[in-house]
Structure 1
Amino acid sequence: MFSHAALENIYTLFEQSIQANAVALPSDVCVIERIALPDANGRPGHAVVLNISSYLFRIIALFDFEADATTGAHLALRGRSATPVLEGQALVDVLGELVNMICGSVNRSLCAAFRHAAMSTPFVLERHCARYINEVAPTAQQTFVITLNDSVRFGLTLSLCAAAGSDIDFRLAPAPVQEAVAGELEFF
């Protein structure tokens, strides 16, 4: 069973990682909303899945990306591609890389509390497969809608599964406060 604090900490880790990894430019605006489970309605797109697991839990991160020119252009810019709009296998490769970066950051943070946390490689499913996520019988589930610059949208559904009889509770370490230093020059 996940404690309320553990769930909030996991959700916060994903939100922080999305803020850090999904933007293409420092001026990009990234808005993350927590919502009820969405319905893809048969729209074209890609479902990219990655698992983070330990002896005590499994987190299934299912990312739902639109297959449109706006998403392809944002990811081309983010990936510093020479192609102005990614599509086909190039788009799928960059989606996998983005998912890997987001989940890798979360996994590193979780390793501070759970020494044996590891993650899978991202894999792509047909988008309609997302409707079967409840078949894993999650202990908890949360969906996020991420909007970048009011034009690019993607979803993330987290399905958290606790091992039988396990109580999962942890706190995030406070972010280190960096001292603002100006006008000093250090010689080596």
Structure 2
Amino acid sequence: MIGTHAQDSFERIFFAAARTRLVTDPQHVCEIVPVTGEASQGEHVVLLTISSTQFRLLLLLHVTDDEATRAYYVGGAESAVVDAFMEFGNLCCGAMNQQLVEHFPDLGMSTPYALGSQCLPYLRELKPDHVKSYALTIDGAVRLGATLCICTHTPLDFVAEALAETHESAGELELF
């Protein structure tokens, strides 16, 4: 069971991380709107997890290899959109991990990996305690999706303090 304070805290932590880590320029705006249902918001899903002894959080970032997304994340490079986007997903998940470690010191984070969007209905098999999806629009042109899926092992509720959305690093070294 996940409490309403924890649901709100996870959402605020995700919003702050997405707005600072999924953009290529700190001046770009990342708009986030909740959506209903399990409809895929991209042909590829970049999956990352944050796990503790109390919960497992799956962050699924939906991305489509379209012209706007390719121009934004790849530019003129020859790499695939999903490969380039994985690093941004990793940065986003890492920022979430940094906020959550203040409440859960035993966290572990996965490396990102890509799945096809047809895998989304199988989230139900995990018997999650909380699932919420969002539509993201970056710099008015790039459309992404995100799904937060949280499975708990024990009752979970916490309150994360108000988060400052900064793009600056404090100089810490993280290996992913």
- Residues 136, 145 of structure 2: 8 Å contact kept: yes
2:155 is matched with 167
Question: Kindly, what percent of the aligned residue pairs are identical?
Answer: 29
Q: Which amino acid aligns with 1:115?
A: P
Question: Structure 1-normalised TM-score?
Answer: 0.80
Q: Which amino acid aligns with 1:55?
A: T
State the alpha-carbon separation in 2 of the partners of residues 157 and 174 from structure 1. 22
Give the superposition deviation at 1:129: 1.1
1:120 to 110, 114, 120: 110
Q: Deviations over 1:2-43 (max 9, x none)?
A: 1101110001000000000122223322110011124238x6
Q: Which amino acid aligns with 2:27?
A: S
Question: Structure 2-normalised TM-score?
Answer: 0.85
State the alpha-carbon separation in 1 of the partners of residues 72 and 90 from structure 2. 17
SS of 1:31's equivalent in the other structure is strand
1:71 is matched with 69
Give the superposition deviation at 1:87: 4.7
1:100 to 82, 90, 98: 90
Q: Deviations over 1:84-138 (max 9, x none)?
A: 26553xx222211111100111011111001101111111112211222211110
2:170 is matched with none
State the alpha-carbon separation in 2 of the partners of residues 47 and 174 from structure 1. 29
2:137 is matched with 147
Task: Report whether the alignment pairs 1:84 with 2:76.
Answer: yes
1:184 is matched with none
State the alpha-carbon separation in 2 of the partners of residues 151 and 143 from structure 1. 19
Q: Which runs of 5+ in 2 are unaligned?
A: 165-176
State the alpha-carbon separation in 1 of the partners of residues 145 and 77 from structure 2. 20
- Residues 38, 121 of structure 2: 8 Å contact kept: no
State the alpha-carbon separation in 2 of the partners of residues 174 and 50 from structure 1. 24
2:51 to 42, 50, 53: 53
State the alpha-carbon separation in 1 of the partners of residues 46 and 163 from structure 2. 29
Runs of 4+ with deviation above 4 angstroms:
none
Q: Which has the larger radius of gyration?
A: 1
- Residues 58, 161 of structure 1: 8 Å contact kept: yes
- Residues 59, 159 of structure 1: 8 Å contact kept: yes
Q: Which runs of 5+ in 1 are unaligned?
A: 77-82, 177-188
